[in-house]
């Protein structure tokens, strides 16, 4: 039997955790990090391991739970996407001072591009600010190896260690060698030491001094030192690369005929950069090219940058992914080799859209009917795609739909014409960061309507459970929190629940809510209908309403513009016979479109 | 039937396998599934493999593309003008990703007809929507295309253009991955076979 298995980068990281004795793993889902914890849960079930695996309410909570586990001497890990680290930044900064007992890995996945994120921020900058070491894997196989390195580093220097994969590592698959799951490890034991674990500012000063000493040691630690990949090349020029940029470089340099012409180093620990390496680089080379994503973190640590080309110098683009095409051009220019790269712009692809049958589409359609000229604040999740329907005006960060609605209300409250304000937020996002915002809106008597799009799951990231689901990461039964009681507990007086699939009734419900929200204070609508992807997974199909479009259709395009279901196909081939039809491949027979056509052309299939 | 690092069938045994393929379609069509089958086939042959996928926001009905590399590679991505082949699950994907093909590369495209499709290389089209419909599952376009591509690329005259794997390899992967779910296995194999049979020289 082969011991090599096809693993997604995120699965490789999970496997590394399992094989190196991780006893607690926590996470809040977010692309490109989501599959790490799902994979840990799968391995845990398959190998019947005694460990705690948990989806938490948000990243700060995930961090603090895993951190306490390492204080008790266990190996633990927390995973999140890069903007999740912003949410967890408060404990992250302090944990750097206090250090660890058991090994503790903070996995923060970056998204250069960005492909599925609000920003291209570089988590390594957070590591630099907190003064903790960070490892930067170039491939799924290396990410798995780095988990072992990270635990060893963490325990040797009593510090949290960041593992920073990027999208191209998280979401590539590679054949990876499998080892056995670790079955032994430390038992939980907490040594009280208030001067450290509850340090007052006086002790924090001491801890900061210790941290600086640790960093100096880490910058000389052998196992994480940069690697020279082509020792035979003799040159006064050097390329220094980390992460997937190093993988691209390793493939492209030989193809350019430059493998023996330019020295090539892979940096595995971008911060703190090894002090001897910095000296060696600046002593040996007259020309240095640094390739890294997304900020010049390695570059910034090269004290004398007169001979350095990188992000800071402007030689390497500061925005967007360092694609292999970009790297080919940069390497060619740097090595003095002519190389042409064809344009990478193909025909534009399709824009993402809400799935056919997505309950959010129905909710948005109803919101538009109830408050046609409103200000629509929204949030992070699938429903950001409500933008396509013209019912999402703002998206800032997790939970901001509610606070921005409040901000708009206060901005307009003395204006002559006050717009209706309707905020949309998903159930998981509401639990994550919406609750304090709603309490604030109640206290401040903010006149707006909040629609909680309750699809019973965290859909965008692959249908992870929410606090209302009643089960955990490994499918184990858990307690569930009731959304309506929670909203009531925040002090909201107007709460209605509705099923957006019952579109006619739901529009009426929305109108009543908007009227209340406009005059009397926060109105909350819980729009409840399971995500169709989640339903398909649980194979509960629900009611099927097959719809067809009659000859009444004159191809006016109203449904396409205002309902924007991907299962609707517009036919404009024959100008005399414009019409719309339903794509049987995409249609899930939700029946919502029956109520959309102003001419009544949609009808139940006979 | 492990053959190690060598070309299949009558291939030149001294040339190690090194192939780059793009698979593109729209979210929900099963681009990742096809990529996965190819990757498992590579592993079964003892070959190193890399794939790169689209997840998250971009997956919701938007264009989805996977990069597939078998043989000795370090980067998970295929560069422009480097791909040996392209599997396009929608005809529109040719215009989006055709530029990844190297001069003379091959493309297998799901299209009703060849009109308005252009490629400097080997272009083969098949109406996979129709075939999938007739084979009883409208959602199996991905496997019909895969089967068709195995037939096309398997019968290419030039050795380097041959796919690294055969129909038998893919059937083996389906069996070993879904063996217990007999109904699913037979549906998958039927769709692949439908595509395979649709091509003749």
Q: What's the CATH code of the domain at B119?
A: 3.40.920.10
> Could you tell me if B60 lies within 8 Å of chain A, comparing CB atoms?
yes
From the candidates B32, B39, B80, B103, which should be mutated to test the interface with A, based on the most A CB atoms within 10 A?
B80
C-alpha span between A375 and A393 (Å, rounded):
7
pLDDT value of residue A84? 98
Task: Give the residues across from A54 on adjacent strands.
Answer: A26
pLDDT value of residue B5? 37
Q: How many CB pairs under 8 A join A and B?
A: 139
Give the residue among A343, A323, A4 at the shortest CA–CA distance from A177: A4
pLDDT value of residue B148? 95
Tokens 């609000």 belong to A118
Residue B140 lies in a domain: yes
> Is the separation of the CB atoms in A110 and A169 below 8 Å?
no
Residue B40 lies in a domain: yes
Looking at the structure of chain B, the number of domains it has is: 1
Task: Give the residues across from A290 on adjacent strands.
Answer: A240
> Is the separation of the CB atoms in A497 and A483 below 8 Å?
no
pLDDT value of residue B4? 35
Residue B143 lies in a domain: yes
Fold match, A225-335 / A359-538? yes
> Is the separation of the CB atoms in A43 and A35 below 8 Å?
no
C-alpha span between A253 and A328 (Å, rounded):
8
Q: How many Å from the N-terminal Cα to the C-terminal Cα in chain A?
A: 55
From the candidates A114, A116, A350, A583, which should be mutated to test the interface with B, based on the most B CB atoms within 10 A?
A350
Dihedral angle computed from the Cα positions of residues A315, A321, A323 and A327, in that order, rounded to the nearest 10 degrees: 20
Identify the band that residue B62 occupies on the pLDDT scale cut at 50, 70 and 90: confident
> Could you tell me if A45 lies within 8 Å of chain B, comparing CB atoms?
no
pLDDT at B108 over 70: yes
Residue B131 lies in a domain: yes
Give the residue among A512, A561, A517 at the shortest CA–CA distance from A419: A517
Please, which residues 110-139 of chain A have a Cβ atom closer than 8 Å to chain B? 115-116, 138-139
A547-604 CATH: 3.30.70.20
> Could you tell me if B57 lies within 8 Å of chain A, comparing CB atoms?
yes
The CATH class of the A225-335 domain is alpha beta
Q: What is the spatial order of strands in the sheet that A449-454 belongs to?
A: A394-395, A375-378, A421-426, A449-454, A523-528, A494-498
Q: Given CA atoms A350, A355, A357, A361 in this order, what sign does their dihedral have? A: negative
Give the residue among B65, B70, B30, B67 at the shortest CA–CA distance from B46: B70
Contacts of A8 in chain B (CB under 8 A): 53
Q: In angstroms, how far is CA A181 from the centroid of its own chain?
A: 27
Residue B43 lies in a domain: yes
Global pTM reads: 0.93
Q: Name the residue ranges covered by the structural domains of chain A.
A: 4-223, 225-335, 359-538, 547-604
Residue B2 lies in a domain: no
Residue B8 lies in a domain: no
Give the residue among A434, A444, A350 at the shortest CA–CA distance from A406: A444
**Could you tell me the residue range of the domain that residue B151 belongs to?**
19-196
Q: Does domain A359-538 have CATH number 3.40.640.10?
A: no
> Could you tell me if A340 lies within 8 Å of chain B, comparing CB atoms?
no
Of A6, A252, A342, the CB nearest to B80: A342
Contacts of A32 in chain B (CB under 8 A): 55-56
Q: What separation in angstroms does the CA of A325 have from each of A88, A321, A343, B66, B80?
A: 35, 10, 9, 17, 7
Q: Taking residues B28-36, report their average pLDDT.
A: 91
pLDDT value of residue B55? 67
| Closest chain A residue to B53, measured at CA | A171
pLDDT digits (tens, 9 = 90+) for B133-168: 888 888 899 999 999 999 987 777 666 667 899 999
pLDDT value of residue B179? 80
| Closest chain B residue to A325, measured at CA | B79
C-alpha span between B44 and B3 (Å, rounded):
9
Mean confidence (pLDDT) of chain B: 86
Dihedral angle computed from the Cα positions of residues B69, B73, B76 and B77, in that order, rounded to the nearest 10 degrees: -70
C-alpha span between B141 and B195 (Å, rounded):
9
pLDDT means per 10 residues, chain A with 606 residues, are 84 98 97 97 94 98 98 98 98 97 98 92 98 98 98 98 98 96 89 92 93 97 97 95 98 96 98 97 96 97 92 94 95 93 79 90 97 97 93 97 98 95 97 98 98 93 92 95 97 97 96 97 96 68 80 92 91 85 85 92 89
pLDDT value of residue A539? 53
| Closest chain B residue to A324, measured at CA | B79
- For chain B, what is the largest distance between any 2 Cα atoms, rounded to a whole number of angstroms? 44
Looking at domain A4-223, its CATH architecture is 3-Layer(aba) Sandwich (3.40)
Give the residue among A96, A95, A136 at the shortest CA–CA distance from A112: A136
> Is the separation of the CB atoms in B17 and B62 below 8 Å?
no
């Amino acid at each position: 039997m082969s011991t090599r298995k096809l693993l997604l980068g995120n699965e490789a990281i999970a496997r590394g955790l399992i094989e190196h004795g991780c006893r607690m793993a926590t996470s809040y889902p977010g692309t490109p990090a989501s599959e790490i914890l799902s994979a840990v849960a799968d391995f845990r079930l398959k190998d019947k391991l005694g460990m705690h695996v948990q989806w938490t309410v948000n990243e700060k909570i995930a961090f603090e739970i895993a951190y306490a586990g390492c204080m008790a001497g266990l190996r633990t890990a927390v995973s999140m996407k890069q903007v999740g680290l912003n949410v967890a930044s408060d404990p992250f900064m302090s944990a750097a001072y206090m250090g660890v007992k058991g090994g503790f890995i903070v996995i923060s996945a970056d998204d250069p591009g960005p492909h599925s994120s609000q920003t291209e921020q570089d988590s390594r900058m957070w590591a630099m600010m907190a003064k903790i070491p960070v490892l930067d894997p170039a491939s799924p196989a290396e990410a798995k190896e780095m988990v072992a390195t990270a635990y060893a580093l963490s325990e040797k220097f009593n510090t949290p260690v960041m593992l920073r994969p990027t999208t191209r590592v998280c979401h590539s698959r590679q054949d990876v060698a499998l080892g056995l799951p670790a079955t032994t490890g430390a038992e939980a034991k907490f040594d009280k030491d208030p001067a450290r674990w509850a340090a007052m500012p006086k002790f924090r000063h001491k801890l900061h001094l210790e941290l600086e000493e640790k960093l100096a040691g880490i910058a000389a630690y052998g196992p994480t030192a940069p690697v020279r990949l082509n020792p035979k090349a003799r040159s006064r020029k050097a390329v220094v690369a980390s992460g997937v940029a190093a993988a691209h470089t390793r493939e492209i340099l030989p193809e350019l005929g430059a493998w023996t012409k330019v020295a090539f180093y892979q940096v595995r620990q971008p911060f703190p950069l090894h002090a001897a390496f910095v000296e060696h680089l600046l002593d040996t080379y007259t020309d240095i090219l640094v390739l890294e994503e997304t900020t010049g973190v390695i570059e910034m640590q090269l004290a004398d940058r007169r001979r350095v080309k990188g992000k800071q110098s402007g030689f390497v683009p500061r925005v967007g992914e360092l694609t292999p095409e970009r790297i080919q051009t940069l390497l060619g220019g740097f090595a003095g080799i002519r190389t042409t790269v064809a344009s990478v712009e193909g025909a534009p692809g399709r824009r993402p859209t809400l799935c056919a049958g997505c309950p959010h589409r129905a909710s948005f359609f109803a919101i538009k009917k109830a408050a046609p000229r409103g200000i629509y604040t929204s949030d992070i999740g699938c429903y950001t795609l409500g933008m396509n329907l013209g019912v999402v005006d703002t998206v800032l960060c997790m939970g901001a739909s509610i606070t921005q609605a409040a901000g708009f209300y206060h901005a307009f409250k003395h204006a002559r014409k006050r717009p209706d304000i309707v905020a949309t937020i998903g159930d998981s996002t509401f639990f994550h960061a919406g609750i304090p915002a709603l309490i604030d809106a109640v206290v401040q008597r903010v006149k707006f309507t909040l629609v909680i799009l309750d699809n019973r799951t965290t859909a965008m990231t692959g249908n992870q459970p929410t606090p209302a689901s009643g089960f955990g990461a490994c499918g184990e039964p858990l307690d569930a929190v009731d959304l309506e009681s929670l909203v009531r507990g925040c002090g909201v007086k107007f709460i209605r629940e509705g099923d957006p699939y019952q579109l006619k009734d739901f529009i009426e419900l929305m109108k009543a809510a908007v009227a209340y929200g406009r005059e009397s204070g926060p109105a909350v609508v819980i729009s409840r209908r399971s995500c169709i992807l989640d339903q398909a997974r649980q194979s509960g199909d629900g009611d099927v309403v097959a719809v067809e479009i009659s000859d009444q259709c004159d191809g006016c395009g109203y449904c396409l513009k205002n309902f924007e279901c991907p299962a609707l196909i517009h036919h404009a081939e024959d100008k005399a016979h414009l019409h719309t039809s339903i794509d049987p491949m995409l249609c899930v027979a939700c029946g919502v479109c029956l109520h959309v056509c102003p001419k009544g052309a949609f009808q139940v299939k006979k | 039937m492990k053959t190690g690092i060598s070309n299949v069938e009558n291939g030149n045994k001294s040339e190690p396998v090194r192939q780059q393929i793009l698979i593109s379609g729209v979210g929900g069509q099963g681009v990742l599934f096809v990529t996965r089958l190819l990757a498992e086939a590579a592993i079964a042959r003892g070959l190193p493999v890399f794939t790169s996928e689209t997840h998250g926001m971009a997956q919701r009905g938007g264009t989805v593309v996977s990069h597939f590399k078998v043989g000795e590679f370090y980067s998970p991505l295929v560069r422009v003008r480097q791909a040996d082949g392209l599997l396009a699950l929608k005809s529109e994907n040719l215009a989006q990703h055709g530029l990844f093909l190297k001069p003379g590369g091959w493309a297998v495209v799901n299209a009703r007809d060849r009109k308005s499709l252009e490629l400097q290389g080997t272009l083969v089209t098949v109406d996979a929507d129709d075939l999938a419909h007739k084979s009883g599952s409208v959602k199996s376009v991905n496997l019909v295309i895969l089967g068709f591509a195995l037939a096309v690329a398997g019968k290419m005259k030039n050795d380097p253009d041959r796919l690294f794997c055969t129909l038998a390899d893919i059937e083996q992967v389906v069996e070993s991955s879904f063996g217990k779910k007999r109904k699913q296995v037979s549906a998958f194999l039927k769709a692949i076979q439908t595509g395979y049979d649709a091509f003749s020289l």
